[in-house]
């Protein structure tokens, strides 16, 4: 039988505020010792009161807008009650029936078209601490307690492991683009649980689903879902039913393990958080938050294809990261030639420099105007293409303008026939064997001759001219 795969994703997104959601402790504990970014509020001491961080609301509104979700004029916080050692208050402050935003969607690539993935829920909440198993001990670190989270749950709209991966890739890109989360899955800044079920193709009902937890990379989400689809297919083929298990992904063995079910099924006894007042998102506040709302990556990708006649491949890569796409656009404006040429230089050379240095495009000493200048120098024949590439590096290191470097180091291309001719005659004189071989028909040696000449002239010769002179001299 053919089955349709039904996937919904529940994501937890750590907002990159400086301080926690309800207290002033630092959020970034990546290199901090355990239990050092803590205070009476986030460790649940008696008699303390939470005070909401305004940037958390603002970043939540940015995400809501980017997800086409409706930010609500009034929202409330609620208590979600459960006992666990890394939750010192015995409840998590979350949102329930009146969250910050409702609805929304994201379009993702699917086959040749796009799939619209609906958003069911988007709410603000506080993160819990960390329970670690070390040397047979269970140890609790409260540094993460109170780090702001957005929980976002999709409708069961995804139809394959690849689509789930595409959703996460687009979400991560979006979170970084609007600057609300660093979204590094390996650091737990973006976490994902996947709900997976199968049904006969064409059916409209939903079968019981399993929930996959503890996947901390996009590749792991894809692998875990694919394994689970296979398992469920085998179960149905064998005439068995699927039970609503919670499964844990084991990265080391690449397998799913059944987790012990919670002792009683979730009974969180939500009620309004009495220590917090409602959040009123006034029109003025919302307008101020959205004042500098950026063009989003998908809009920009489509615009790049339309406005600059870029191939889809180029536009996709150039909009993968905001700083890179800003860089591209600034360089195109400074260059005033064919945008595809700028794209080629970026994709081939500048991106390699970025990968090697770990910088973002905006951090390069090679500013967009300098890249444009280098391409112009090559176009106009002042320098040859390989010198142009050298200039990229030299500009990055020295911060001098490309023209200054060309002038200071004498890099301008030598188009002077007599200089090239003299060097070519020298090459031929020093290599009589090769010259004789060429004359008897080994014309494949031409590249070698030009290479020898370039070495003599420090790479500055005009290559087509050198080739013409060799052809004449070796005729």
Partner 1 sequence: MSLSLQEVEHIAQLARLDLSEAEKARYRLQLSAILDYVAQLQKLDTASIPPTASIFGAASPLRPDEPRPGLTRDELLKNAPEREAGQFKIPPVFGDGTPSAEE
Give the residues lining the site for partner 1 (CB under 8 A).
12, 17-19, 23-27, 33-43, 51-57, 76, 81-85, 87, 98, 128, 131-134, 137-142, 191, 193, 213-214, 246, 248, 259-260, 262-264, 267, 269, 272, 276-280
**Minimum CB distance to partner 1 smaller for 19 or for 343:** 19
Q: What are phi and psi of 17, to 5 degrees?
A: -70, 165
**Minimum CB distance to partner 1 smaller for 57 or for 229:** 57
Q: How far is the CB of 229 from partner 1 (least distance, A)?
A: 21
Mode of pairing for the β-strands spanning 113-126 and 246-250: unpaired
**Minimum CB distance to partner 1 smaller for 57 or for 168:** 57
**Minimum CB distance to partner 1 smaller for 45 or for 365:** 45
**Minimum CB distance to partner 1 smaller for 30 or for 313:** 30
Query: What distance in Å separates the CA atoms of residue 167 and residue 85, rounded to the nearest whole number?
Result: 33
Query: What distance in Å separates the CA atoms of residue 475 and residue 473, rounded to the nearest whole number?
Result: 6
> Are 192 and 185 spatial neighbours (Cβ–Cβ below 8 Å)?
yes
Query: What distance in Å separates the CA atoms of residue 128 and residue 122, rounded to the nearest whole number?
Result: 18
> Are 279 and 76 spatial neighbours (Cβ–Cβ below 8 Å)?
yes
Q: How far is the CB of 362 from partner 1 (least distance, A)?
A: 23
> Are 57 and 100 spatial neighbours (Cβ–Cβ below 8 Å)?
yes
Q: How far is the CB of 83 from partner 1 (least distance, A)?
A: 6
> Are 452 and 403 spatial neighbours (Cβ–Cβ below 8 Å)?
no
Mode of pairing for the β-strands spanning 137-141 and 210-215: unpaired
Beta bridge partners of 123: 151
Name residues whose C-beta falls within 8 Å of residue 169's C-beta, 6 or more positions apart in sequence. Answer: 218
**Minimum CB distance to partner 1 smaller for 97 or for 471:** 97
> Are 116 and 109 spatial neighbours (Cβ–Cβ below 8 Å)?
no
Mode of pairing for the β-strands spanning 210-215 and 246-250: parallel
Q: How far is the CB of 145 from partner 1 (least distance, A)?
A: 11
Tokens of 393: 């590096």
Q: What are phi and psi of 168, to 5 degrees?
A: -65, -40
Q: How far is the CB of 19 from partner 1 (least distance, A)?
A: 4
Q: How far is the CB of 155 from partner 1 (least distance, A)?
A: 20
**Minimum CB distance to partner 1 smaller for 236 or for 285:** 285
Tokens of 99: 């969250």
Q: How far is the CB of 314 from partner 1 (least distance, A)?
A: 38
**Minimum CB distance to partner 1 smaller for 168 or for 461:** 168
Give Cα 91 distance to the centre of its chain.
33
Q: How far is the CB of 213 from partner 1 (least distance, A)?
A: 6
Query: What distance in Å separates the CA atoms of residue 405 and residue 170, rounded to the nearest whole number?
Result: 40
Q: How far is the CB of 256 from partner 1 (least distance, A)?
A: 14
**H-helix or E-strand spanning residue 5:** strand 3-14
> Are 392 and 350 spatial neighbours (Cβ–Cβ below 8 Å)?
yes
**Minimum CB distance to partner 1 smaller for 105 or for 245:** 245
Distances (CA, A) of 475 to 237, 385, 448, 453: 76, 28, 16, 17
Cβ burial, residue 289 (10 Å; 0-12/13-18/19+)? buried
Q: How far is the CB of 31 from partner 1 (least distance, A)?
A: 14
Pick the closest to residue 114 from 170, 196, 175 (CA basis).
Answer: 170
**Minimum CB distance to partner 1 smaller for 38 or for 67:** 38
Q: How far is the CB of 126 from partner 1 (least distance, A)?
A: 11
Q: How far is the CB of 185 from partner 1 (least distance, A)?
A: 14
Give 302-330 as a DSSP string. Answer: HHHHHHS---HHHHHHHTSSHHHHHHHHH
Pick the closest to residue 382 from 336, 349, 415, 425 (CA basis).
Answer: 415
**Minimum CB distance to partner 1 smaller for 97 or for 237:** 97
**Minimum CB distance to partner 1 smaller for 73 or for 337:** 73
């Amino acid at each position: 039988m053919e089955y349709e795969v039904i996937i919904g994703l529940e994501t937890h997104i750590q907002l990159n505020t400086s301080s926690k959601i309800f207290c002033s402790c630092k959020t970034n504990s990546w290199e901090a010792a355990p239990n050092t970014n803590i205070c009476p509020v986030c460790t649940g001491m008696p008699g303390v009161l939470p005070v909401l961080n305004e940037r958390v609301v603002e970043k939540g509104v940015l995400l809501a807008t980017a997800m086409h979700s409706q930010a609500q004029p009034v929202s409330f916080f609620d208590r979600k009650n459960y006992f666990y050692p890394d939750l010192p208050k015995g409840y998590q402050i979350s949102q329930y029936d009146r969250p910050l935003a409702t609805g929304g969607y994201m379009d993702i690539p699917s086959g040749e078209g796009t799939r619209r993935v609906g958003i069911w829920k988007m709410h603000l909440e506080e993160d819990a601490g960390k329970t670690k198993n070390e040397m047979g001990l269970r140890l609790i670190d409260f540094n993460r307690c109170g780090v702001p989270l957005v929980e976002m749950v999709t409708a069961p709209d995804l139809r394959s492991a690849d689509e789930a991966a595409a959703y996460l890739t687009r979400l991560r890109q979006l979170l970084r683009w609007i600057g609300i989360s660093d979204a590094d899955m390996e650091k737990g800044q973006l976490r994902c649980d996947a709900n997976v079920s199968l049904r006969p193709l064409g059916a409209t009902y939903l079968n019981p689903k399993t929930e996959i937890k503890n996947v901390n990379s996009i590749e792991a989400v894809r692998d875990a879902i694919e394994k689970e689809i296979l398992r469920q297919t085998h179960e149905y083929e064998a005439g068995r039913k699927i039970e609503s298990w919670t499964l844990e992904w084991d990265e080391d063995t690449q397998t799913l393990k059944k987790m012990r079910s919670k002792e009683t099924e979730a009974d969180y006894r939500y009620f309004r958080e009495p220590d917090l007042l409602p959040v009123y998102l006034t029109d003025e506040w919302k307008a101020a938050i959205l004042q500098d709302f950026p063009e989003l990556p998908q809009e920009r990708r489509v615009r790049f294809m339309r406005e600059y006649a870029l191939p889809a491949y180029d536009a996709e890569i150039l909009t993968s990261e905001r700083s890179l796409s800003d860089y591209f656009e600034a360089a195109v404006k400074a260059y005033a030639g064919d945008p595809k040429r700028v794209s080629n230089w970026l994709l081939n050379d500048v991106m390699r420099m970025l990968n090697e240095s770990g910088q973002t495009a905006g951090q390069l000493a090679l500013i967009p105007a300098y890249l444009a200048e280098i391409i112009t120098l090559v176009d106009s024949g002042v320098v040859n293409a390989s010198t142009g590439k050298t200039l990229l590096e030299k500009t990055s290191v020295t911060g001098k303008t490309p023209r200054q470097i060309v002038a200071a180091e004498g890099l301008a291309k030598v188009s002077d026939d007599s200089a090239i001719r003299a060097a070519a005659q020298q090459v031929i004189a020093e290599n009589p064997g090769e010259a004789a071989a060429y004359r008897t028909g080994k014309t494949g040696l031409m590249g070698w001759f030009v290479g020898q000449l370039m070495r003599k002239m420090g790479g500055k010769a005009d290559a087509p001219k050198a080739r013409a002179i060799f052809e004449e001299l070796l005729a």
